[in-house]
Amino acid sequence: MADYYTDDRTPIARPGQLYVEGEWCTPASGERLELISPSDESLHACVAAAGIEDIDRAVAAARRAFDTGPWPRMQPGERAALLRKMAELLRTRAPHLAAAWSFQTGVPTTMANYALANPGMLYDYYAALIEAKEFVETRTRDNGGVAIVVREPVGVVAAIAPWNHPSHLMSLKAAPAMAMGCTVIAKAAPESPLDVFILAECAEAAGIPAGVFNIAPAGRDASDHLVRHPGVDKVSFTGSSVTGAHIASICGGRMVRSSMELGGKSAAIVLDDIPMDDVIKTLVPGGGVHMAGQGCAFLTRVLVSRKRQDELVSAYADAMQALKVGDAFDPTTQMGPIAMARQLEKVTGYIEKGKAEGARCVTGGRRPAHLSKGYFVEPTLFDNVTNDMAIAREEIFGPVISVIAYDDEAEAVALANDSAFGLNGAVYTSDPDKAYAIGRRVRSGNFSHNGLEHDSKFPFGGYKLSGTGREGGPFGLDLYTEIKTIYMPQPPETAA
């Protein structure tokens, strides 16, 4: 087995150690994670993995830091100052985080470089939010006396992020949790662990107290142990609906707090009043083949009226065929590979299932002829899809788009809502009033007009199998908050 190492573009000081209780330590498990580049199938990194003993150590460290350490007892402004230091350090490491994202998941480097300002922004945002927010409110009771309503940190948080957007999604959990005064075990996916090492180096350099931020890149057994650990007060999970349901059942069994941002099968409704060019310029690549389709919120069902169906399919196919598919680090690449071999097998399996179900594969569905290595598949468009087909109902997590025809707007909304998921949606129309009206009728946690929008300063989450809770903005802080009411005949001289 290879020695511990990472590529020069993703420098990590101690790839063979874990960061626990403010120290870099050799994992008890002796386990390693070997990372394969999806662009060329080469081994590009080997880092430490956490086993069950390492999970126990990380939880104990976070428990001590929360129960007896300074972090929850600091004033919000004191925590904010340290979070801002971490934000600044993350900005200096943005090129490394971007390279790690491309190495691990195949996201084109041009996109990765653009998007990696988000982690630093999130720590800055929550630093400012806790400085402005009131955490103690004294209310006069109708029958005399007062009730003091206090917002307190929930405790030790297991933050479990997926492989597809690791640094952003981990920061979307860790930043508000730490801002609120919680302590964190950052459980990275075994396919994309590099980011938490960089986050830990920034936390250490920023002076975040020992035990507040601990890392546990781990596989299934250690992850399950973390979720079941009695020292964990809150589980925050982003990933598949199947895994989310499993974790939620465990959390429900012991009444531990949890929030879940899960899968999606989101619909874009194209109305008749908008030019097709205005639809295609944001729907491709941003709507469904962005990141090779490896995102929960992407618009993978496109609903169009029967009279415009051929027009949309032709324009969509032309736009797909014009995309350059290639190595994530090629600056001209517009769509990179699927992140891993098993995911590619899943995606190609769905493509074959779509054909078997009777849908028409208009374009794509094969390995690009010019790419002999890597986990590549062409962006794929299916026409004549009905909403009962597997490719229309199940989350594929690949660049596979289903076009579904409708007869009128009422049917379009019904088709959009006829899904086990409810994460995202969009409508394409020149009429903003109609866009808002349809947005109110579609049962999804997020909805956009003429495109796919996301802003981490606003709530993000879904209905139905797409999860529970909302990450982002002030709502993200609420996820890591307990509310306590203290009744007193008269208020104390100071309440903090």
434 with 471, same domain? no
- Mean model confidence pLDDT for the chain: 96
258 with 289, same domain? no
Domain that holds residue 350: 266-455
243 with 332, same domain? no
255 with 317, same domain? no
Domain assignment of residue 461, yes or no: no
131 with 258, same domain? yes
Q: What average pLDDT does range 124-144 have in this prediction?
A: 96
102 with 189, same domain? yes
Q: What is the pLDDT of residue 271?
A: 98
250 with 292, same domain? no
Instruction: For residue 496, give both structure tokens.
Output: 């903090």
Domain assignment of residue 45, yes or no: yes
Which CATH number fits the domain that encloses residue 167?
3.40.605.10
Instruction: For residue 326, give both structure tokens.
Output: 């290639």
Tracing tokens 């594969």 back to the chain, one arrives at 361
- Other Cβ atoms less than 10 A from the Cβ of 360: the count is 13
307 with 256, same domain? no
pLDDT above 60 for 94: yes
pLDDT above 60 for 388: yes
Which of the residue ranges 29-38, 153-162, 421-430 would you say has the lowest mean pLDDT?
29-38
- Phi–psi pair at 312, nearest 5 degrees: -65, -45
202 with 181, same domain? yes
- Between CA 246 and CA 253 the distance in angstroms is 11
pLDDT above 70 for 262: yes
Domain assignment of residue 216, yes or no: yes
Strand 213-215 relative to strand 183-187, pairing? parallel
Domain assignment of residue 7, yes or no: no
Q: What average pLDDT does range 260-273 have in this prediction?
A: 98
**410 band by pLDDT with thresholds 50, 70 and 90:** very high
Q: What average pLDDT does range 456-460 have in this prediction?
A: 96
Q: List pLDDT tens digits, range 186-213.
A: 999 999 999 999 999 999 999 999 999 9
Domain assignment of residue 25, yes or no: yes
Which CATH number fits the domain that encloses residue 319?
3.40.309.10
**285 band by pLDDT with thresholds 50, 70 and 90:** confident
100 with 240, same domain? yes
- Between CA 480 and CA 477 the distance in angstroms is 6
pLDDT above 60 for 371: yes
**316 band by pLDDT with thresholds 50, 70 and 90:** very high
Q: What is the pLDDT of residue 2?
A: 55
Q: What is the pLDDT of residue 494?
A: 81
Nearest CA-CA partner of 153 in 73, 83, 213 = 73
pLDDT above 90 for 117: no
Percent of the chain with pLDDT over 90: 94
Provide the annotated active-site residues: 261, 296
Q: What is the pLDDT of residue 287?
A: 80
Q: What average pLDDT does range 425-447 have in this prediction?
A: 98
Three-class DSSP category at 235: strand
Domain count, the chain: 2
Q: List pLDDT tens digits, range 223-249.
A: 999 999 999 999 999 999 999 999 999
Alpha helix ranges (H) inside 5-115: 52-67, 76-92, 94-105, 109-115
35 with 150, same domain? yes
Domain assignment of residue 337, yes or no: yes
Q: What average pLDDT does range 385-389 have in this prediction?
A: 98
Q: What is the pLDDT of residue 1?
A: 42
Which of the residue ranges 114-128, 338-352, 397-411 would you say has the lowest mean pLDDT?
114-128
111 with 239, same domain? yes
**286 band by pLDDT with thresholds 50, 70 and 90:** confident
pLDDT above 90 for 392: yes
**445 band by pLDDT with thresholds 50, 70 and 90:** very high
Show Cβ contacts of residue 5 under 8 Å, excluding neighbours closer than 6 positions. 15, 45, 46
On the 0-12 / 13-18 / 19+ scale of CB atoms within 10 A, 11 is: middle
Domain assignment of residue 12, yes or no: no
Domain assignment of residue 69, yes or no: yes
Percent of the chain with pLDDT over 70: 99
